[in-house]
Amino acid sequence: MKKFVSKCPVCETPLEIVELRCPSCGTVVRGNFPIDRFLQLDDDDKEFVIEFLKSRGNIRELQNKFSISYPTAKARLDKILVTLGLYEDEKGRVDKMEILDKIEKGEISVDEALKILRGLK
């Protein structure tokens, strides 16, 4: 199975889905379609999420599985939450600096950042 590519291999800008095709009848739908949040995770983060779910959120099991400390496990979860646009600070707001950093690094577009900010208000 081919791996889904979510970033440009040249400049690392997030790619957009612009065409969907039915393999059965050949119908083509064109437009801008958002990429599922989970497809933005790298393979290591996907594996971490799967293990987190399998352990039913037991961080001690994650520590043992990945041979990492508690702070490292928490930091990885925080990184994943930021990537998914779900990270909130103690006041319940999206960490705007993290989103700005992602825009600056080209990990998300301004439009994607606006959607994240609007969706989590």
CB 84 within 8 A of CB 107: no
Domain coordinates of the chain in residue numbers? 35-119
Please name which of 103, 51, 15 lies closest in space to residue 94, comparing C-alpha atoms: 103
pLDDT digits (tens, 9 = 90+) for 45-99: 999 999 999 999 999 999 999 998 888 888 888 888 887 877 764 544 456 767 7
Question: What DSSP string describes 63-96?
Answer: HHHHT--HHHHHHHHHHHHHHTT--B-TTS-B-H
- Mean pLDDT over each residue of the chain, to the nearest integer: 81
Alpha-carbon dihedral sign for residues 37, 39, 102, 114: negative
